[in-house]
Structure 1
Amino acid sequence: MTNPFRFPDHFGDSLQPLDPLEHPEHADLYVDLDGFEAAFTLFQQRFGSPESFDRSGAMAIAVGDRHFGKTALLNRCAYWLRETLNAPGSNSMVADVVDLKWVPVADGQTTEERMKLVCHHLMKRLDYLNCLEKPWGEGKEQPPPEDVLPYLDGWLREDRLVIVQLPPTADVQEELVAYAKMVPRRVILLGETAYARQFDDKAAEFRGARIPPVVLRLGKLRPADGVTFYNKRRELYPDDAKIPAPANNVWPELLGTRPMSVGELQRILYDLYDDESTHKPPAKSVTMKVMLKHYLKYSEFGGKK
């Protein structure tokens, strides 16, 4: 039995967020769950007019709890937008994605310190991608963010548009507010936060930004999402008849008891089927009893790390 939640080898780690920017094959692995599909559709609707970016910038912020798919969603959004903007005949500009999710954000840093570090790596990356009219040389004194971001379109080549993936913010929503107020034309900023309540407390400030950000909200899974998720992953190995389907009562009991994220569901099912694949004979069905036994055994409060 092949684990239906294990991506083929060339897709990388099955427990990491999908990223079609690095692995184009991932574009076919997304599952259009209820909240995820709604958020992605909203992004497509609001960012579907490429000509508007020549007049202004834009920003989108994914809001949801940990492991709710924010990074995977923004990776999909960035990939879709880049491919749309670069499609033959769509416009006269070339879109590049600058991934800054990896920029280290240390505890204790001020908002200005973090943003200055982000701007430093942004300009170096744009220089490397040949997106700038003038070189951003080594040893150049790094100006403060307010002297970089609002005027970035003046540095960019006229035929360039950049999609910037910001590092996940800590519990400091002022950082996202500051970015929203400084986004220049021909720049699309993509950010995320797991602090929905603190984010909502800043709603008035976001509305007061020159270009209010588009908010992409991700919530808990519904029982129907579990069926959709399993069926989509089952398609990875259509010829493996030994893969047992979960019993009908699994989804409402598993997903209706408490909020669960798509990341948690992927991990639970991945570990479960990895465990079941060693059993002989293989189970004919994954019942809730099997699921609970596995969940209690391997949850973070159990023994498996």
Structure 2
Amino acid sequence: MAVDHTETAFTAFQESLGEDLTTLHDDGRLTVALGWDGCGKTSLLNRCAAWVKAELGKSCHILSLADAGRDNEPREDRENRVFKLLIHEFRDRDLLDDNQHAELTEALDKGDLNFGYLYASKYVLKPKNLVLVVLLPRTEIPLEVENYARWAYPYIVFLAESRKVESVNEHWSAIESAHNSALPIRLKVGTLDNGDGWAFVQSRKGDRTDAPNYPFVSEETIRRVTEARTLSIGELHKLLYGTYQEVLKKGKASGAIGSGSMGEVTLLDLMEFHFRRPGRQ
């Protein structure tokens, strides 16, 4: 399924890489998805990684390290952890001989990640004609983004995400300067546009009126919700899921479930759940 409201960003990613992804053999690439919590950055980057894999087939490995970092730790610690896990994954996938493992481990021990990624590009990936796609932990530090731009050597694709939209944008010229001749890709992932909410509901079959065990919601209701408040895809998902669960529980209690009379989730249902849910903004 498409990452509903991020279709434009995904198309921009495809167009930036072009039809011939073997160009990644000459220039690696950094892609950064910018946007606030719940807007679909992670889903978008996973879709981008899957597309590169589908295009390149067995000559592409995906390494998902999105959960490898913590927001409150020093930048250097997070960068070192990513590289350490990369070495382990290389080892587990039988991509390293003993000498290569020693070289990468020494680079990590010395804190010379620039040499480490260059070595991985030239002596590990290139001889195998293998493109590595790395899904990075979320970062709020522009310098960290700049470093991955610098380390995006041939055969390496970094996919990063950040909530610090303004900070990264202000630092973008430095990020571009650090990158190789193929410029980094910047993807903006924003709030839901008009019609995106309804596309999201339809993709999850929330509009079906013929499902006897499940409620439904109308297009008019969803449009009124998204017009009334700026929402991300994640926020809309939480709102609908929570409201649907309440309707289902009420149906079970009354014996209506399975009778074809679960009914419609109304605007009032959604508003009441929104104002009752814990931690609402």
Using structure 2 for the length normalisation, give the TM-score.
0.85
User: Could you tell me how far apart the structure 1 residues matched to 2:33 and 2:104 are?
Assistant: 35
SS at match of 1:221: coil
Q: How does 1:18-167 map to 2 (within 5 A)?
A: 30-34=1-5, 36-47=6-17, 48-86=19-57, 94-105=59-70, 107-109=72-74, 111-132=75-96, 134-136=99-101, 140-141=105-106, 142=108, 143=110, 144-157=112-125, 158-159=127-128, 160-167=130-137
**Equivalent residue for 2:167, pick from 194, 198, 208:** 198
Cα separation, partners in 2 of 1:38 and 1:102, compared to 1, 3 Å: same
Residue 151 of structure 2: aligned partner? 182
CA distance in 1, matches of 2:54, 2:149: 24
Change in 2 beyond 3 A, CA 1:140/1:224:
closer
- Counting aligned pairs with the same residue, the percent is 22
Equivalents in 1 of 2:104, 2:91: separation in Å? 14
More helix by share: 2
Q: State how far apart, in whole Å, the 2-side matches of 1:301 and 1:59 are.
A: 35
* Cα gap change, 1:38 to 1:53, in 2 (>3 Å): same
Cα displacement string for residues 45-71 of structure 1 (whole angstroms, at most 9, x for unaligned residues): 223322201111111111110111111
Residue pair 2:36, 2:190 contacting (<8 A) in 1 also: yes
TM-score by length of 1: 0.78
Contact 1:68–1:262 (8 Å) recurs in 2? yes
Q: Which has the higher contact order (CA 8 A, sep 6+)?
A: 1
Shift of 1:192: 0.5
Deviation (angstroms), 1:139: 11
Root mean square deviation, CA, Å: 2.5
The answer for the alignment partner of 1:168 in structure 2 is 138
Deviations 1:139-160 (A, max 9, x none): 9442321221233212314222
1:300 aligns to what SS in structure 2? coil
Q: Distance in 1 between matches of 2:9 and 2:174?
A: 22
Change (3 A) 1:294 1:85: same
Listed as ranges, the gaps of 5+ residues in structure 1 are 1-29, 87-92
Indicate the SS of the match to 1:192: strand
Conservation of the 8 A alpha-carbon contact between 2:60 and 2:131: yes
Q: Are the aligned partners of 1:249 and 1:288 in contact in 2 as well (CA < 8 Å)?
A: no
How many residues are treated as equivalent by the alignment?
264
1:225 CA displacement: 1.1
User: Take 1:139 and 1:37, find their aligned partners in 2: how far apart are those partners?
Assistant: 38
Q: What is the CA–CA distance in structure 2 between the aligned matches of 1:237 and 1:58, rounded to whole Å?
A: 42
Find the aligned partners of 1:284 and 1:269 in 2 and give their Cα distance: 15
Residue identity in the other structure for 2:96: L
Amino acid at match of 1:104: G
Rounded Cα–Cα distance in structure 2 between residues aligned with 1:63 and 1:290: 32
Residues 277/255 of structure 1: CA separation in 2 closer, same or farther (3 Å cut)? same
CA contact (8 A) 1:69 1:262 kept: yes
- The CA distance in 1 between the partners of 2:159 and 2:94, in whole Å, is 21
Q: 1:184 to 1:298 in 2, by over 3 A?
A: same
Q: Give me the whole-angstrom Cα distance separating, in 1, the residues matched to 2:262 and 2:271.
A: 15
Alignment CA distance shift 1:192-1:183 (3 Å)? same
Q: Is the 8 A contact 1:223 1:251 kept in 2?
A: no
Aligned partner of 2:276 in structure 1 is 297
Question: Are 1:240 and 2:219 matched, yes or no?
Answer: no
State the alpha-carbon separation in 1 of the partners of residues 122 and 209 from structure 2: 52
Q: Give the drift of 1:114.
A: 2.3
What are the within-5 Å matches in structure 2 for residues 258-269 of structure 1? 258-269=229-240
